[in-house]
């Protein structure tokens, strides 16, 4: 069977959207229609259905297929320190707020263990490191950042640095941030235990895996040597060598199972929001709506990190790009 043979009426399509929202809580209203149809047709071909109405009936009576369909809309492709240069830039923002001038040695410490960072060529690696160290637009706005105010006034104001990892999947992103902050705190006690990381995802199984904190070797391909030695222990399951993240790091992240397109259940506003590689799945109208939701959760002077293919093109927002290379935005006063 091919896509050409598949029949999808508008009525059956809307029935599917309502069915998934009712049975799984998955809000497909936000997703691009082409993305939904691509996932839908793939499942229909796999299960040998040519008519959506028939597939809907099958979906309603089959919990296993319902789960597999939902899994197709959750973002699970991730690994620790994915887009290493983004984490290095975040680290450098913190170092600049701490008035550290020589940041190159900290970049070196964060460098992935592999010789080939994310399979980039040597020339590209050198360019990335130059961009990380300089980033003039970003550092010119340093005193406007809420984290700058927190760190510079830390002796007077006892408020933690707040970070939200939005659509965190199985936890690699928030744990990467926790390791980075814990490592810096060893040199700069002012950071120690003075931050809170919250991580959200709609997928209950992904959140469960994140809380367990056990990962394959592939997930650690960008982890620096010092981090792997300090924060992971090896464990064997059947014939596979796995890596368990330390309880010290696990305790630094609060995981929430929630649909972030509806509501965020944490009472704080955030200094930093990481929302990378999620907007690309949303249609234009709902992307704008979701950006407004994110905007409300961000403090004035807070930073939003988007994915490298994601950009905000909309008027009437208080978000302004200050690092077009790494797609970092500041919430203006």
Q: Which of 71, 98, 128 is the last residue of a domain?
A: 71
114: part of which helix (H) or strand (E)? none
How far is it, in rounded angstroms, from Cα 97 to Cα 191? 11
Q: Is the domain of 186 the same as that of 224?
A: yes
Instruction: Please say if the pLDDT value at position 274 is more than 60.
Output: yes
Instruction: Please say if the pLDDT value at position 121 is more than 50.
Output: no
Q: Is the domain of 62 the same as that of 142?
A: no
Q: Is the domain of 292 the same as that of 226?
A: yes
Distances in whole angstroms, Cα of residue 47 to Cα of each of 5, 24, 35, 36: 14, 20, 19, 17
Instruction: Please say if the pLDDT value at position 278 is more than 60.
Output: yes
Q: Is the domain of 67 the same as that of 106?
A: no
Task: Report residue 313: phi and psi, to 5°.
Answer: -115, 80
Indicate the pLDDT class of residue 162, thresholds 50, 70 and 90. very high
Q: Which of 71, 92, 121 is the last residue of a domain?
A: 71
Q: Is the domain of 134 the same as that of 27?
A: no
* Domain assignment present for 79: no
Q: Is the domain of 118 the same as that of 253?
A: yes
How far is it, in rounded angstroms, from Cα 301 to Cα 149? 9
How far is it, in rounded angstroms, from Cα 18 to Cα 29? 10
In the chain, the number of structural domains is 2
- Which of the given ranges, 72-86, 139-153, 180-194, has the highest pLDDT on average? 180-194
* Domain assignment present for 67: yes
CATH code for position 257:
3.40.50.150
Q: Is the domain of 110 the same as that of 230?
A: yes
Chain center to CA of 93: 18
Range of the domain at 57: 3-71
Q: Is the domain of 162 the same as that of 293?
A: yes
Q: For the chain, how big is the Rg over CA atoms in Å?
A: 21
Instruction: Give the number of other CB atoms < 10 A from CB of residue 46.
Output: 11
* Domain assignment present for 176: yes
* Domain assignment present for 76: no
Assess contact for 56 and 7: CB atoms under 8 A.
Answer: no
User: What does the pLDDT read at residue 42?
Assistant: 87
* Domain assignment present for 111: yes
Both tokens of 14, joined, read 């809307």
CA within 13 Å, CB half, 151: 23
Instruction: Please say if the pLDDT value at position 127 is more than 70.
Output: no
Q: Which of 50, 71, 92 is the last residue of a domain?
A: 71
* Domain assignment present for 188: yes
Q: What is the pTM of this model?
A: 0.82
Q: Is the domain of 67 the same as that of 88?
A: no
Assess contact for 55 and 49: CB atoms under 8 A.
Answer: yes
User: What does the pLDDT read at residue 181?
Assistant: 96
User: What does the pLDDT read at residue 158?
Assistant: 67
Q: Is the domain of 124 the same as that of 163?
A: yes
């Amino acid at each position: 069977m091919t896509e050409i043979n598949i029949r999808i009426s508008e009525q059956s399509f809307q029935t599917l959207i309502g069915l998934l929202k009712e049975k799984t809580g998955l809000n497909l209203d936000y997703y691009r229609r082409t993305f939904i149809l691509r996932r839908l047709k793939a499942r229909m071909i796999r299960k040998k259905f040519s008519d959506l109405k028939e597939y809907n009936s099958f979906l309603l009576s089959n919990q296993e297929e319902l789960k597999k369909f939902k899994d197709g809309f959750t973002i699970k492709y991730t690994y620790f320190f994915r887009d290493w240069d983004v984490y290095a830039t975040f680290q450098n923002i913190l170092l600049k707020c701490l008035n550290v001038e020589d940041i190159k040695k900290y970049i070196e410490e964060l460098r992935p263990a592999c010789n080939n960072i994310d399979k980039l060529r040597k020339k590209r690696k050198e360019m990335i490191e130059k961009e990380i160290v300089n980033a003039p637009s970003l550092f010119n706005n340093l005193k406007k950042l809420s984290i700058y105010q927190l760190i510079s006034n830390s002796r007077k104001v006892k408020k933690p640095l707040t970070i939200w990892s939005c659509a965190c999947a199985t936890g690699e992103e928030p744990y990467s941030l926790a390791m980075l902050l814990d490592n810096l705190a060893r040199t700069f006690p002012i950071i120690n235990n003075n931050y809170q990381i919250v991580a959200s995802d709609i997928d209950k199984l992904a959140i469960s895996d994140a809380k367990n904190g056990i990962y394959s070797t592939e997930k650690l391909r960008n982890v620096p040597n010092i981090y792997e030695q300090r924060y992971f222990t090896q464990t064997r399951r059947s014939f596979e060598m796995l890596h368990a993240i330390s309880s010290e790091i696990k305790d630094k992240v609060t995981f929430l199972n929630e649909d972030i397109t509806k509501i965020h259940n944490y009472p704080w506003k955030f200094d930093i929001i990481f929302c990378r590689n999620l907007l690309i799945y949303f249609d234009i109208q709902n992307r704008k709506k979701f950006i407004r939701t994110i905007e409300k959760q961000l403090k004035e002077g807070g930073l939003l990190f988007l994915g490298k293919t994601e950009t905000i093109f909309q008027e009437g927002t208080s978000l302004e790009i200050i690092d077009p290379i790494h797609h970092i935005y500041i919430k203006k006063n």
